[in-house]
Structure 1
Amino acid sequence: MSNYPSIDRLAELQQLIADFAKVERVPHLADNGRPENDVEHSFGLALTCWYLQPKIAPELDLLKILQYALAHDIVELHAGDTYVFDLEKAASKEERERAALEQISKDWHDFPELVEHAKDYMDKANEEAKFVKAVDKLLPVIMIDIGQKQVWWHKYNVTLEMEREHKKSIRVSDYVSPYYEQLIEWLDKNGNIPKS
């Protein structure tokens, strides 16, 4: 049993998950009336990637994709969520997230895979990381438009043109990039988001 992590360490991992669930994101869960948290978002991203991978990217490594999806926002434990249109906070995002990654590396020295996957995701180190990054850019917009609709877009003064510009990052993955135009057309057709 020498390789088995102790029950105390497993309890610490459960605490990490509980703390991760306290990180609230700006988008609300569809029709739920409360902000989505990072655990829910990471699970939703992993499930969506799992659904998409065999259909649009069967040559990619599904295990890697799922690991990236689960690890991708772990830095937000210390850095917090950064709303993309909060320009002041967005300016310090990379610095805060790199510092958070260092802290997680110290706290979880016995879980180097978590840190490696979070770092590789941030660096878009391979096609699997790019795939997850691109899918991650789709989900909040879809969640907002099926949930809060017009209220959210107006509250945060977000327009279709702003989303068109920001969501170009979906193109980081050749596998996911066809969804870029589809997403913009879907938003426009739904009519919830102001055009400009």
Structure 2
Amino acid sequence: MEQLNRLHKQIQFIHEVDKIKYILRRTRLFNSDRAENDAEHSWHLSIMAMVLAEHSNEPIDLLKVIKMVLIHDVVEIDAGDVFFFDKTQKHDNRPEEMEAAKRIFGLLPADQAEELISIWLEFEKGKSVEARFAKTLDRLEPMLQNASNQGGTWEEYNVKYDEVLDSKRIMKDTATPLWEYTQALLKECVKEGILKENEE
């Protein structure tokens, strides 16, 4: 009976997180006009974690990073997505996100709920080497998308070079090769005219 109850809770959670597939992000798929959804974003970051882990400046627990990127946006089922460059809303550590984490992960058996809330909070705080690497990936993917889409959301929301570069600085001490790649790519985007420099 206890095992059946545990399974019921896990299935309930699995049903609930299906909703993440319907949450559209501002960024669009590579070379596409279609908006990416949160499930696609999380999957892509997981693939990136496996492929790019070797570029971390410090050893990382890859499984923890993958768990982080798979669940980091689950709270948006309740709290909604906030565009990274939206200056009218706070992007990180919103109270509604904590409430969402408690509700959604709370559908699971207590031990699993506790683990996932803990991992989600670790990502949000961005202090551990795994959290910093996960955030690095979260900054890298939309940059690659925008570069492939002739500026994408940079163009649409008039985001300038300095803002984009500043948003990627977490990479500098976390994954130096990715930081160097980012700097070179952004300069190329400016040269190609798909990312505008700040006006003097």
- What's the TM-score once normalised by structure 2's chain length? 0.82
Q: How far off its partner does 1:55 sit? A: 4.8
Give distance in 2, aligned partners of 1:54 and 1:86. 32
**Higher relative contact order (CA closer than 8 Å, sequence separation 6+):** 2
* Matched length: 194
> Which deviations, in whole Å up to 9, do the C-alpha atoms of 1:57-115 show, x marking residues without a partner?
57221111111111222221211111122112226753332232232343335422222
Give the match for residue 88 of structure 2.
88
Q: 1:135 to 1:91 in 2, by over 3 A?
A: closer
Which deviates more from structure 2 when the two are superposed, residues 151-160 or residues 172-181? Answer: 172-181
Would the aligned equivalents of 2:168 and 2:179 in 1 still touch at CA under 8 Å? no
Which deviates more from structure 2 when the two are superposed, residues 9-18 or residues 81-90? Answer: 9-18
Runs of 4+ in 1 over 6 A off after TM superposition: none
Q: How far off its partner does 1:118 sit? A: 0.8
Q: Structure 1: where are the runs of 5+ without partners?
A: none
Give the match for residue 100 of structure 1.
100
Please, what is the CA RMSD of the aligned residues? 2.6
Which deviates more from structure 2 when the two are superposed, residues 77-86 or residues 166-175? Answer: 166-175
Give the match for residue 130 of structure 1.
132
- What's the TM-score once normalised by structure 1's chain length? 0.83
Q: Structure 2: where are the runs of 5+ without partners?
A: none
Q: 1:23 to 1:119 in 2, by over 3 A?
A: same
- Aligned residue for 2:158, secondary structure, equals coil
Q: How far off its partner does 1:10 sit? A: 4.6
